[in-house]
Structure 1
Amino acid sequence: MPRHLGFSIGALLSLSLTFPTFATEKPLTVKKDAPTTYTVVQGDTLWDISAMYLDSPWLWPRLWQVNPSIDNPHLIYPGDRLILIWRNGHPVLSLKPMKKLSPKVRVLEKEALTTVNDGLVLPYIESDRLLSESEIAASPRVLGSSDGKQFLSNEGLLYITGEHKVKSWTIYRPLKEYTRDAHKVIAMKQVATAELAETKSEFSGLNVLTQTQEILVDDIALPEVDIELSSLSTTFYPAPSPQGSVANILGSIDGSHFVGQNQVVVIDRGAQDQLRQGSMFELYKQGVAVEIEDSETDNAYLPDTRIGHLMVIRPYSHFSLALVTESSEPVSQVTRLKAPLVNTSQ
């Protein structure tokens, strides 16, 4: 079973306590080849397991049924067994724990699965940023090093503008500008981390700890004490974006024209559009144009073809960073984003 993406079994139970009910919706359609029982193994994620049962993995909360024998339903472990059953014509999953142990003993024996695949989602949440022009203008900039080198490394101190007291810093490189009406953001890519070594009235010196690229003069330095980051979570769960909403892909962080599965793009919708971490869109390839005789228009378009899913991982006010969770074709600016239809059967 593929283990390429994002959510742990640990998240799946917390969903049942917070996700809206679906009493008015049609029953779920479980895949024909869905297993009736499945034993959780190390490395499993919510996305992988829910995709075994449903074509729309974010509808997992409708499939889950908390087993009353579990003392702490937020903790699921490798070795636990999932059982597919039917109640009043609706499919549900219940859980048989690996052993009947108290939560404390289970935690000591084996760690619960993480909520997010750290190697995939967290690097984007932590290292990629979207900043406005005013935020960049107000941020400290790299002045250089005492030896005057154009390309800076971890040898010697790196100096930035201003007097500072924050210990931990991240160095970013502005890459590409994106616009939406009157709003504008610049995509930022992390190039290094550093810690404060000395500070004076007009500049401060940093020791470079890690770097993925050489640091340049005028790169942006941001303190790691960040209210915006603290509001983000690695325990978010997938849910359909608001019904009827659409979005456009503006591009990738590095400016690539095409991206694929497990890559991140910038979209032109954000918190102002009721998006949050985990908001899902479906990806569509536009239908081809055809000529129809006696038509009032020159051309008509065949229906769009669904090619995958996209999930918001970091919303801003008017923009978001979003992860391509599944795609059968390359994704670009012409790919259409539409809210999933949750009131229909799969």
Structure 2
Amino acid sequence: MLKKTLAWALGALLLSTVVSAQDPRIRADHPTTYTVQPGDTLWDISGRFLTEPWYWPEIWHENPDIENPHLIYPGDVVRLTLVNGEPQLSVERGGGTIKLSPEVRVEQLDDAIPGIPMEAIRPFLSGDRVVEAGTLSDAPYVVAGGDERVMSATGDPIYVRGLDGSDANSWDVVRKEQTFRDPASGEVLGVLAQYAGSARVREHGDPATLVLTDSTREILAGDRLLEASDEPFDSQLVPAAPSQDVDGVIMAVMDGVNQIGQYDVVALNLGRREGMKTGHVLTVLEKPRSVEDPYSKDDEVVTLPAEREGVLIVFQVFERMSLGLVMEANRAMAVGDTVRTPER
């Protein structure tokens, strides 16, 4: 028995050495196995095995006989093995082995680990939303509050114009917060509609009578209404590099800070039309910087090489822009910094 144990340990050590030496995607100090802990994310686990998290789909082994095999739970054991000369990640659960697949699950189980820290992006999943230019100006609006109140809150009635022809009963009350423009062209890429509350229709008409069922701030005349969205968010984001070269810019940081760090949410001037998808990982580089060379004959202006500042993952994609979460920050970032497809 002791000989078998020693042989297995020696084999695991040799496998670790061979995999690390032959495949640049694998960390030199990777473990052979890792037991998933509560609070882990897919990004955390990938960082234990891989040099870059977007290599994860390449190391997964697709097994069509297993339903939704990419879901990972606390207590699962993730194991790195070598199959036909290629590194492969698999997960052991309840004594069995399930091959990991890059297939994305539409439904999610509450106890499966998420792809990224959900607390950092939750405000952008359940309230605030980005809409197309012109959406808010054409949306229904609050014309007055009940009992001649200037400000309304949960439980109060509000009177709304512009609901004619809509059968929807549940609405979000929003307020225009920020307009996103492309830094180069000036094109309006989207508008941030800040969530202020929710309301249900009590009586249709012009104006219609609605009752506020929730409010996070005072509801004012002029606030706009958007039909409530119950579109689920799949927390099982799988990090992957875009298949095409993309080059964009950080337009804004969503919490209003001047310097951008880990777990800050940023707005990018890249959307569906540029081929962006949820889960895409981008490298953040400092904005181009030029200096005058006083030692050259003609005082040439030289553009310095851009330094890598960190990595972000895209979690929401719109037609002309997207939102990303900064996962790694090597140094402070700023609005205007460049985002690109990671180099391999």
Secondary structure in 2 matching 1:41: coil
1:148 — aligned with what? 148
Counterpart Cα distance in 2 of 1:72 and 1:178 = 37
1:8 — aligned with what? none
Between Structure 1 and Structure 2, how many residues are aligned? 306
Counterpart Cα distance in 1 of 2:209 and 2:82 = 64
The superposition leaves residues 216-239 of structure 1 with CA deviations (integer Å, 9 ceiling, x where unpaired) of 22111111157xx57x64444222
- Would you say 1:318 and 2:313 are equivalent positions? no
Aligned partners of 2:254 and 2:264 also within 8 Å: no
2:284 — aligned with what? 283
Counterpart Cα distance in 1 of 2:323 and 2:74 = 31
Deviation at 1:37, TM superposition (A): 0.9
- Would you say 1:53 and 2:49 are equivalent positions? yes
TM-score (norm 2): 0.77
| Cα RMSD, aligned residues only | 3.0
Structure 1, 79-88 or 135-144: larger mean CA deviation: 79-88
Q: Which has the higher contact order (CA 8 A, sep 6+)?
A: 1
Deviation at 1:35, TM superposition (A): 1.4
Aligned partners of 2:139 and 2:162 also within 8 Å: no
The one-letter amino acid paired with 2:200 is E
Aligned partners of 2:36 and 2:77 also within 8 Å: yes
In structure 2, the CA distance between the partners of 1:72 and 1:125, relative to structure 1 (3 Å rule), is closer
Secondary structure in 2 matching 1:125: helix
The one-letter amino acid paired with 1:316 is F
- Would you say 1:172 and 2:177 are equivalent positions? no
Structure 1, 276-285 or 163-172: larger mean CA deviation: 163-172
Deviation at 1:48, TM superposition (A): 0.9
In structure 2, the CA distance between the partners of 1:65 and 1:322, relative to structure 1 (3 Å rule), is same
In structure 2, the CA distance between the partners of 1:36 and 1:114, relative to structure 1 (3 Å rule), is closer
Return the match for 2:311 from 309, 318, 321: 309
The one-letter amino acid paired with 2:201 is L
Deviation at 1:138, TM superposition (A): 1.5
Identity of aligned residues (%): 28
Secondary structure in 1 matching 2:119: coil
The superposition leaves residues 98-157 of structure 1 with CA deviations (integer Å, 9 ceiling, x where unpaired) of 24599xxxxxxx965054554333431332322234211221112221223322212421
Aligned partners of 1:125 and 1:313 also within 8 Å: no
Map 1:63-212 onto structure 2 (within 5 A). 63-65=59-61, 73-100=69-96, 112-116=111-115, 117-163=117-163, 164-180=166-182, 181=185, 183-184=187-188, 185-200=190-205, 202-212=206-216
Aligned partners of 2:197 and 2:215 also within 8 Å: yes
Secondary structure in 2 matching 1:293: coil
Structure 1, 156-165 or 332-341: larger mean CA deviation: 156-165
Structure index of larger Rg: 2
Aligned partners of 1:176 and 1:255 also within 8 Å: no
1:16 — aligned with what? none
Unaligned runs of 5+ in 1: 1-25, 103-109
Aligned partners of 1:286 and 1:303 also within 8 Å: no
Counterpart Cα distance in 2 of 1:216 and 1:71 = 49
TM-score (norm 1): 0.77
Counterpart Cα distance in 2 of 1:60 and 1:265 = 24
The one-letter amino acid paired with 1:92 is Q
Counterpart Cα distance in 2 of 1:85 and 1:321 = 35
- Would you say 1:216 and 2:220 are equivalent positions? yes
The one-letter amino acid paired with 2:219 is I
Counterpart Cα distance in 2 of 1:157 and 1:76 = 46
Deviation at 1:340, TM superposition (A): 0.8
Counterpart Cα distance in 2 of 1:101 and 1:327 = 35
In structure 2, the CA distance between the partners of 1:268 and 1:296, relative to structure 1 (3 Å rule), is farther
Unaligned runs of 5+ in 2: 1-21, 99-108
The one-letter amino acid paired with 1:166 is A
